[in-house]
Structure 1
């Protein structure tokens, strides 16, 4: 057993060493070469779509045999349309401006020194994720475009799909003359390999976990490497007393039902008491028509007496359902709504529906979340929707990055000082 662990330690350490060497090369590669690799990858994905679906079906069969939850299987599934969208996403990243080398600040000191603060790659980024194989491509292309090497450790649920995708990425790197170690996948699902990966702070500069709360907490608690993360997506909509009824219904239905299995879907609905009597029945009917289970506090339950509801427990408002379930509470004021969101929410994405700008501005200042919306669905918290290209993740941390993370968030900076012989 010790020999097996030793072999895994060596495997992961070798991958990390090669990634570090590749990252030093990537930092000097020009934009055209990086874009060439991305366009090559997009073409390869489209050319091999059928073969990729064959590999994906192996993972789906295993997932169904294990009776995995429907939301997880939905995230795991590849279709021709999703592969086409993924390839288009790669091309969109190629079209984005290269952040590397951007001058963030420049100043000339009294002694004549010119001090430039420039954007540079982080170095080596480790991405740990579960059942969404599109993450393999999203993260690889963002790391490449921003000059970072990537080490990918996907979940066992998507092992065949991820392995195929990693092979296509290697092909694109070879065709473009980029170091093939720039993107590597951990070729085992053994948990020991993950444990070793999280120790290698001499080679890896950042870890980004994407998946369920238990995985992310494990990574955060066991990593020697800085971690950028969000634990859950407990998002909310607050319908204010000054809300437009039609707009409120449209946003709530979209935010809850457009795709229930993703982290920017709402789990809680808060309604101002002065609007609850008239608006809540309309919202409840629209949700019920979409087969959403309604878990309600006592005030909402009294208003919705003719509806099929369940009493909401305190724990229900903390829950990330990722399913056709919503918790509903009637609140006395925008202040109460903000307090509830800050108490129950995960700091991800929250929206206010109101025609009152003063109230909206109060909501913006008082809700402690990475993204806050006014009269719009939380479903827009996404790298593509924000114009960032494919996102590498969404952070609810305060340091380095917050919200959807694109190319700029995969960079650090350095100071470049130019002189003409100055000495101190």
Structure 2
């Protein structure tokens, strides 16, 4: 077992990593181009995630530097208690041990998610997708250089070159100690990990987010939020898929026509319920199953709805438990919506695109969890810890 690296060493490795990413920027992008050229799929969101350009390298560098500047999340006192027999009791945060990150397509995860897990004192096992193998191996090589530069073992970051069968076997019977698994990818990957894992799994990555336009909405604001949440980044799990419009919205028809024409400017395919599909440019929804779907595409489903109560019930039935937003000038209605909608993030008059560790003040995230244990929504550095009891005595017996 690797002994926990002290915080100075962990920070120095992260800063060295930032330096190496800058030095090797051109090489990383060249190697990534080989991965992109070899990608033969037609999934635009997958291609978008796979691509490493200057701004992605900038993000990786920023992430490594930011992590190095953050407080040590390990050994933080959460609770203390003086027993009447004189024992001093503390509860402190502790690292998990070994974390496996299984991910598709995104070479930036090799820096950002691995960096968070490393900073919080864990050994990292990485299992990326075959489509990004060359890019990932190059970045892991940099991790090893950074670790060696500080006299730390390269075992702290290990890349598993497994095919699907080998991955399944490793999940079911790990050949080394494994404390936590974080799958980052689509629903098929997450289902596969959940089915075969023999240790805890943090479930993340499924969106299917809703915006509700209440009858007291500011319509310009509603339009702005919907267009941003839908079109700014379709491959993101915080992108918008569904819009529910209050039946009693004043100027409803003009608003819907305006929304349709704005979405059409971005070449978004629009699906609508009975009320919405009467409008030109909207296809009728043929099955309720559509409400469960996360699109990750230029595609949106819109329906009319009777009330805030109906909206809450519909979101709680169909959404992925990720993000939902209400557009209204009525604070009491917004409060009811936010208290009762069962998603990890709830918004009032803002885009769902902010469900992201760096946007919500965490500096970055390992994943965005739609589970309720042990942390919901973006999982930052300070959440990627477990805890341990420290009890100091001088011979007390019970």
SS at match of 2:56: helix
Aligned-partner SS, 2:276: helix
Q: What is the CA–CA distance in structure 1 between the aligned matches of 2:254 and 2:340, rounded to whole Å?
A: 26
Alpha-carbon RMSD across the aligned residues, in angstroms, is: 1.4
2:272 equivalent to 1:292: no
2:259 is matched with which residue: 268, 278, 283?
A: 283
1:357 aligns with 2:331: yes
Match of 1:45 in 2: 21
**Map 1:254-333 → 2, pairs under 5 A:** 254-275=228-249, 276-302=252-278, 305=279, 307-313=280-286, 314-333=288-307
- The residue aligned with 1:220 is 194
The runs of 4+ residues in structure 1 deviating greater than 4 Å are: none
* SS of alignment partner, residue 420 of structure 1: coil
Structure 1 residues without counterparts, runs of 5 or longer? 1-20
Instruction: Tell me the distance in 2 between the aligned counterparts of 1:312 and 1:164.
Output: 45
* Number of residue-to-residue matches in the alignment: 394
- What secondary structure is seen at the aligned counterpart in 2 of 1:274? coil
2:169 match: 196
Instruction: Pick one of 55, 61, 67 that aligns with 2:37.
Output: 61
Check the 8 A contact 1:201/1:224 in 2, yes or no: no
1:244 to 181, 198, 218: 218
* Secondary structure at 1:299 match in 2: coil
Aligned to 1:85: 59
**SS at structure 2 position matched to 1:300:** coil
CA distance in 1, matches of 2:123, 2:389: 22
Mark the CA change 1:399 to 1:283 in structure 2 (over 3 Å): closer, same or farther.
same
The 2-side partners of 1:52 and 1:366 are apart by 46
- Give the secondary structure class of the aligned counterpart of 2:275: helix
Secondary structure, in 3 states, of the residue corresponding to 2:183?
strand
Corresponding residue for 1:158? 132
CA contact (8 A) 2:321 2:342 kept: yes
* Secondary structure, aligned partner of 1:267: strand
SS in 1 for 2:64: helix
1:163–1:187: 8 Å Cα contact kept in structure 2? no
Scaled by the length of structure 1, the TM-score of the pair is 0.90
Q: Report what 1:380 is aligned to.
A: 354
CA contact (8 A) 2:206 2:370 kept: no
Taking the aligned partners of 1:93 and 1:312, their CA distance within structure 2 comes to 45
Are the aligned partners of 1:217 and 1:231 in contact in 2 as well (CA < 8 Å)?
A: no
Give the unaligned 5+ runs of structure 2. Answer: none
How big is the shift at 1:278? Answer: 4.4
Corresponding residue SS for 1:398: coil
Please list the CA deviations of residues 283-317 of structure 1 after superposition, one character each: whole Å capped at 9, or x if unmatched.
22222222211100011223xx2x31111231222
**Partner Cα separation in structure 1 for residue 275 and residue 8 of structure 2:** 60
C-alpha displacement of 1:180: 1.2
**TM-score (ref. length: structure 2):** 0.96
Counterpart mapping for 1:162-181 below 5 A: 162-181=136-155
Match status 1:337 vs 2:286: no
CA contact (8 A) 2:205 2:368 kept: no
Higher helix share: 1
Matched, 1:235 2:202: no
The answer to whether the 8 A contact 1:115-1:416 is kept is yes
Secondary structure of the structure 2 residue equivalent to 1:46: helix
Q: Is the 8 A contact 1:393 1:404 kept in 2?
A: yes
Q: Distance in 1 between matches of 2:318 and 2:91?
A: 39
* 1:193 Cα offset (Å): 2.2
Offset at residue 201 of structure 1 (A): 8.2
Do 1:383 and 1:405's aligned partners in 2 also have CA atoms closer than 8 Å? yes
